[in-house]
Structure formats: structure tokens, C-alpha cells
Structure 1
């Protein structure tokens, strides 16, 4: 499993981590004591988040919930819209760009345009605005994307994600490790999902992982797996890869996500020759970056060649003014989703649906 990360860091970071931990502890205590107020809303609010910075798969898990619920309820997703160019509250429309609402909200909304997609750093304000919509448009269920630490909203149900390759109980607080808050923060979760679980995990390893988390009796644990769909063209999801990859073909794998290891590993499963260009998470591709991508692509030697990127990066490249139409025609992306085992899928789905039904029944009795 993941290695003990503390040995990778020099001792002088520990005082900063200690001070950071004190600050987070005091903040959480203020909420726990009721000095800082958490707002409760009259609809089910399901929060998806994590304790660590970086990619644990929040967006595909939110998308899973959207697929589960969208045909049964009016759904709204609320996100802060990380690294967007706009400010304040925005209710997404098809006219909004990736830069205006953020790459993750853009991805979710364009896959599921029938839902409400709101971005606002102030989640309470966003939910208030959504609930002020006419009754025929008002959401019946709200999904909070990456809001585990946004405690001004009191979720009706909290889902905590943790990457199997870097479990929260093996991690440390920033800046020594990648934890945003102490391990004790997991106590606020109603369910924990171990993400990016290897398919070949042995039953004993499942049990060891659950034991090491030391969760409360009421907290349910699930294990999810990454699924990759067929390769899609940047210009059209219906346009297929025009050739079957062989060792004579080449691909430039371009990614700007928090953890590109799984993406690169999936790309390398094919026979083609692979070159990598790795950028930082939520990377804003500038003119110099596009020039680097273009030059690297031109240097590839192969009978056929393409640029292959992640689903999240695809949105930023599609709307990038420095990417020529000719280059766009060479860019493809690898869609991602998550799955559970058949047994866990039924259990997880029923847990979510039962929570919403129970919430609505209790609301009637208020």
C-alpha cells in the first residue's frame, strides 16, 4: 500500500504543520461548539469531499450521484469553481465557458445539461439562491462538490473520499503531508469511499484497510474503481479513433490533473509508443504551453499519431484560443467514471436513496 510519507520530508516543515493543525483544530471546535454557525437547509444536501488536497476522484463520484438521482429528482450541483475567472454566484448556462465557471463544473454541466450547476465560493449563498427559484425549477436534492471543509453548510449526508494509494491514516497535515485537516475529521462522514482501488485486491486487504480507518459503527465503507470509456475526439464525442493502436503508432499523453498516474498507466496499456507531458493540476494552458504541446506532437514518430488527454483537460483545450482547429482535430480524450462491485453498488445506491426518502418524510413531520 502507500508508503510512510513522513520520511520524505525534512524536519523543519513539522513546526509549520503543527501550527497549521492548531489553526484547523480551533476552527473545527468553533463549529462543534456552535460559536461558528452551520446552516441547515430544507432539502437533502449531500457533500462529497476529502481530507487531503489533490485528486481523490471527487468529480466522477459527483457524476455517479447525478446519474443515480437525475431521473428521480431535480438535482443541483454546487461547486466553488476552482480557478475560474469570474466572481460570486453563477448559475451555469450553455453559454458559460470553462474559464468562467471552472473546468470541473463545466465538465459536469455539459455531460448533464438537465441539472442545475451553480458555482459560488459561498455555498450558503448558492443554496439560498437555488432554493429561491420557482417551485418547478427549485432543486429537490443538492450535491456539494469538494465542500467537506466548508462547514458553514450543514450537510444532511457527508461522503468522504480517500485514495487507496494514499489513505488518510497514512498521511500528515500540510505542509508535511497533504491533509487539509486532522484525521479526526473523518468522524463527520456518514460514509467513506476508498477510491482508485486496485481490481486485484485480496479480501484480507479490504479488511485491513477498513480496520486501519478506525471508523465509528454507523459509518459505512465502500470501495470504488476507476473505469475508462472509449477514446473520444475533442471535436465530437461520436467521432471514434480512426485507427486501432499498434506499436507503429504514437501518442502524446497530456495531463494537467492532480494525480496523472492512473491516466498514464491506462494510456500505456495500449501497444503504441507513448510520450508524456505532465502539467500542474487545473493547469491554464498558455500560448507557450500549446507551443510545447505542438512541437512535442510534431516530433512524434509513428505511422499514426494523436494527442490524448484527460476529460478534465479536454474542456480547457477545446476553448483555448491558442489551439488551432488543425491541432484540435488531433486531440482525443479518455472519459473516466467510477464503479462499485455489484453488491456494493446496490448497497451504496440504496443508502443514498433511503437517506433522501427519509429526509423528505421527516420534513413532512416538521
Structure 2
């Protein structure tokens, strides 16, 4: 793998040059970056793959939805539709993307919208909302958010800072300067102060940037309808794990603490499950002779299991979903909440939208 990275390095230099020029054009005003007269919070990361953007977006929704008419706006990666679309109660992952579908299922009374062009999306939403959260929008320079939250995955933060295709960065590390808050996500629940100090140096924040540490909070298992179950996993359980996410390693490590009998059906991030994929899972599950066996998937993957062509097989499998949230280390939650709510309060329009 390391030799392949070196072979791809010249292409990374070319990619880097293009990204640097593009960012400079936005900073210099040659390319227009649109500001809006309402609070806009962007959540994103510098590298490809999952850094915990969806749990952070959900955390912000829970924090702010009680006092604001808010909307989330995503690109809707992997959807079969195009243009601006507001999710309704019947929206599927194929209509709006798996992450927006997850948001809609969990927050049915919050506006969940998708648009490739975020400027056009905000223009559509701003007349009836007083706050917009942009999911995975750190590189979307056509919008200038009022507040940016940048995530770094603890499990990947020490990797070489190489740009695509030799590395994993979407833009140079210097792009972190646009963030108001930096979050090192997916940390161990206990992280020594020395390790935190080393990670802080690794991130090298600017003086105006606050750095927070969060860990994954695994919640009780749910059925596909979102209802909590009393199902427990122990060392006698054989787990069939179905994932189509960027990094399943933290999830696997969590499950290995409960059982070592794990059969992982692993697919690429945002993979559109086919009937062949789910039929193979069903065949393997039925062929397993374990007395106690379960099928578990993630919330994001569960959205892509809702397609009509899969339902005949999915309904027979009693697939369980493992939801996740985030927990702040060092009792930092109140400080984080205050920075976010102070920004929203400062820039909110005094309007009757609420």
C-alpha cells in the first residue's frame, strides 16, 4: 500500500495545486462566497470518510431545535434525485441520501432538505427558517457559513497528511484555519491529559479556535422501526454485522468487548445494498447453527435497507440497529453548547418565524 501511495504522490501534488488555487480564489473574492442574513452552521472534515459528522449534526439539532425553526441542508450523497428537495414522511434514502433519511426518521418535525448547490438550497429555506445546519459542507466554499465545526477522527489523526489520491485529505491541512471549533471525535472514553496535549499539538489550532474531545456513545439496540429493544449481546452471541460505512473499526472494537463471534458483511461507504447482498446475508444467517445469533447494522445503513425491492428479505431477518451519539470528554459539553448558542443568539434575526 505504501508503494502505491508513492506512485500516486505526483497526482496528489496536482490535486493540491488545484485545491489551493480554488481556495485562494474564494478568499480573494474572485470566486463568490455567499453570506446569508441568518445563522448558518457548517459541519465537516478535511479528509474523506467518516469523522462523526452525522452524530454531530444530530447533536446540534437536539441542542437548537427547541428554540429555533431550523433546517438541515445536505448534498444528499447517493440519491437518485437531483436539485432541491425537502424530505417528507415517506422519503427514502434513494430520494434524499442515507444520512438525511436518518435525520428525518429521528427528527420528523425538523425540516430536512438536500441540494447539490447549497446556495440555492439556503435561498429556498431562509424565508421560513431562522437557522440552517449544513452537513458535510466544509469544502463547499460557495457558501460562507457564520460558524464552522471541523472534525478530526482520533483513529486517523496521526496519519500522513497527504492529499487525494495518495492520501485521504480533501484539502491541505492549512484549511483548518476556517474553523471556529475543532472537535477530535471517536476518542477513547478515557483519554489521558498527556495524550490530549499531544493531539492538540498535532491539530495545532489557531488562537481563536477551541478544541474539544468527544467519544462515541453506543445506545441500546433498536428494531428497524426505531423502537428500543431489550436484546442483549453476550459472549455466547454470534453477530452478523452489516455495514456500508467509511470506517467500521470503532464499531467492531466496541462489539468485540461483548462477543468475539462476529461475521462482518462489509461494503463500501454509502453502498446501495442489492437483493443479492441481503440474500447472501440471509443465507449465511440461516446456515449458522449458533443457539443465539443476531443481525446488527448501523443507523445509516438501515436507511438503505428500506428500499422496496429488499423488503421481502429484510422483513424476515429481524435486523437490529445500533444507534450512536457523542459524549464530551473533560466536562466540555457546556462550553461547547455555549459557543454554539452564543453564535446563534448573536446572529439570529428578530422575526416571528419561531
TM-score higher than 0.5: yes
How far apart in 1 are the matches of 2:159 and 2:348? Answer: 35
Q: Which residue is equivalent to 2:190?
A: 200
Q: Tell me if 1:352 matches 2:340.
A: yes
Does the residue aligned with 2:148 lie in a helix, a strand or coil?
strand
- Paired with 1:121 and 1:14, the residues of 2 have a C-alpha distance of 30
User: By how many angstroms is 1:330 displaced?
Assistant: 2.1
Say which of 32, 35, 43 aligns to 1:37. Answer: 32
Distance, in Å, in 1 between the alignment partners of 2:233 and 2:327 is 26
Q: CA deviation at 1:247?
A: 3.7
Contact 1:168 1:183 (8 Å CA) reproduced: no
- Alignment pair present for 1:46 and 2:41: yes
- Tell me the matched-pair count: 351
Partner of 1:128: 123
Q: Comparing 63-72 with 209-218, which one deviates more in the overlay?
A: 209-218
Counterpart among 231, 241, 261 of residue 273 in structure 1? 261
- Match 1:83 to one of 78, 93, 96: 78
Indicate whether 1:308 and 2:296 are aligned.
yes
Whether the 8 Å CA contact 2:282–2:317 is kept in 1: the answer is no
Contact map agreement 1:60 1:336 (CA 8 A) in 2: yes
1:341 counterpart residue number = 329
In 1, Cα distance between the equivalents of 2:87 and 2:134?
Answer: 15
Unaligned runs of 5+ residues in structure 2 are none
Summarize the alignment of residues 109-148 of structure 1 with structure 2, pairs less than 5 Å apart.
Answer: 109-132=104-127, 138-148=128-138
Unmatched tracts of structure 1, length 5 or more: 1-5, 133-137
Residue 183 of structure 1 and its aligned partner are, at CA, apart by: 0.6
Distance in 2, Cα, partners of 1:200 & 1:165: 14
Pairwise CA distance, 1:348: 0.1
Scaled by the length of structure 1, the TM-score of the pair is 0.91
TM-score normalised by length of structure 2: 0.94
What is the deviation of 1:10? 4.0
Contact 1:250 1:301 in 2 (8 A): no
The answer as to 2:223 corresponding to 1:233 is: yes
What CA distance in whole angstroms lies between the structure 2 residues aligned with 1:8 and 1:310?
A: 33
- Going from structure 1 to structure 2, the CA distance change for 1:236 and 1:189 (only over 3 Å counts) comes to closer
Q: Secondary structure at the match of 1:224?
A: strand
SS of alignment partner, residue 221 of structure 1: strand
- Work out whether residues 172 and 178 of structure 1, in 8 Å CA contact, stay in contact via their aligned partners in 2: yes
> Are 2:59 and 1:64 equivalent residues in the alignment?
yes
SS at match of 2:113: strand
